[in-house]
């Protein structure tokens, strides 16, 4: 279907041709006549034609201007789409750079944490200990504290360490060993806090990486540390980030006896995933 603008343009084209034909014939008829003035008055209609032509010219100019505005609008829309795509690309680049910077810092912190573990040293009931062997030796001491506070009998037997006993045993252990473990936990929780407070996506992925770096013994000591005055400030961090997800509740001692930890009421359920 022909639009209004196309219809006007088509009519205007034929109108111009008609006017030119009329003027051409008018000139030929007047060329050899003596009564040009009288005869020319018969073609006064040309004045009307020129008036109509002027009106159509204005209308045609308006249509052309309208076309120009539509073209400009289309160009602006295309420019806007290009700017949107550029903005999306810049945002993607910024996100990639932010993630790269975050991961560089994150893995450097993990590397530093492993260095701290390798340089650890202290004393246990079995003697001087160093490196990751500290946790194995200290676990024996912590379990002994749990048993002694749970059972005063001489003959060993299976023990269930109730929540109050777990808190008392934890306080007793860290009152003696916090100088050896304090730096370890402060650095560990600074890594967790760095992830938790960052604006990076998929934080659980990085928290899982941190948790998977820890041995079962380290998770036991984290559980114990958060129950003491030394680690109270980190308890909420433990709960919010499911850091005790792999906590073991039963431990075998010599002679095959067992110590079970009763955790109810010590932490929010979120701490255990």
The 8-class DSSP code of residue 199 comes to -
pLDDT at 103: 96
Buried b / exposed e over 234-250, threshold 16 CB at 10 Å, is: bbebbbebbbbebbeee
* Residue 32, pLDDT score: 57
Q: What is the pLDDT of residue 1?
A: 47
pLDDT at residue 254 in the model: 63
Q: Which long-range contacts (CB under 8 A, 24 or more apart) does 9-16 make?
A: 9/60, 9/63, 11/56, 12/56, 12/59, 12/60, 15/52, 15/53, 15/56, 16/53
pLDDT at site 83: 85
pLDDT for the residue 18:
64
pLDDT score for 153: 57
* pLDDT profile of the chain (273 residues), mean per 10: 55 63 59 53 55 68 78 85 86 89 96 94 91 92 89 67 92 92 94 94 94 94 95 94 92 77 91 90
Determine the 3-state secondary structure of 260 from DSSP: strand
**C-alpha–C-alpha distance, residues 164 and 22, integer Å:** 115
- Give the phi and the psi of residue 245 in degrees, each rounded to 5: -55, -35
CA dist., res. 107 & res. 29, Å (int): 99
- pLDDT computed for residue 91 by the predictor: 85
């Amino acid at each position: 279907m022909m639009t209004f603008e196309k219809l006007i343009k088509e009519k205007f084209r034929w109108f111009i041709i008609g006017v030119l034909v009329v003027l051409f014939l008018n000139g030929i008829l007047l060329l050899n006549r003596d009564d040009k003035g009288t005869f020319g008055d018969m073609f006064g209609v040309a004045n009307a034609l020129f008036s109509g032509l002027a009106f159509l010219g204005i209308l045609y100019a308006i249509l052309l201007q309208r076309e120009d505005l539509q073209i400009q609008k289309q160009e602006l829309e295309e420019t806007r789409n290009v700017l949107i795509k550029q903005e999306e690309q810049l945002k993607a680049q910024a996100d990639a750079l932010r993630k790269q910077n975050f991961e560089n810092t994150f893995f450097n912190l993990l590397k530093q944490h492993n260095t701290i573990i390798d340089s650890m040293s202290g004393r246990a009931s079995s003697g001087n200990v160093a490196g990751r062997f500290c946790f194995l030796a200290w676990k024996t001491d912590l379990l002994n504290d749990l048993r002694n506070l749970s059972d005063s009998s001489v003959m060993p037997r299976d023990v269930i360490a109730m929540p109050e006993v777990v808190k008392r045993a934890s306080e007793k252990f860290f009152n003696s060993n916090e100088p050896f473990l304090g730096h370890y936990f402060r650095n560990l929780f600074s890594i967790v806090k760095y992830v938790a407070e960052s604006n990076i996506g998929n934080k659980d992925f990085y928290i899982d990486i941190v948790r998977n770096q820890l041995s079962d013994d380290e998770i036991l000591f984290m559980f114990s540390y958060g129950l003491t005055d030394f680690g109270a400030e980190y308890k909420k961090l433990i709960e919010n980030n499911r850091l005790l997800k792999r906590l073991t509740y039963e431990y075998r001692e010599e002679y095959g006896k067992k110590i079970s930890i009763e955790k109810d009421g010590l932490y929010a359920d979120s701490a255990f995933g």
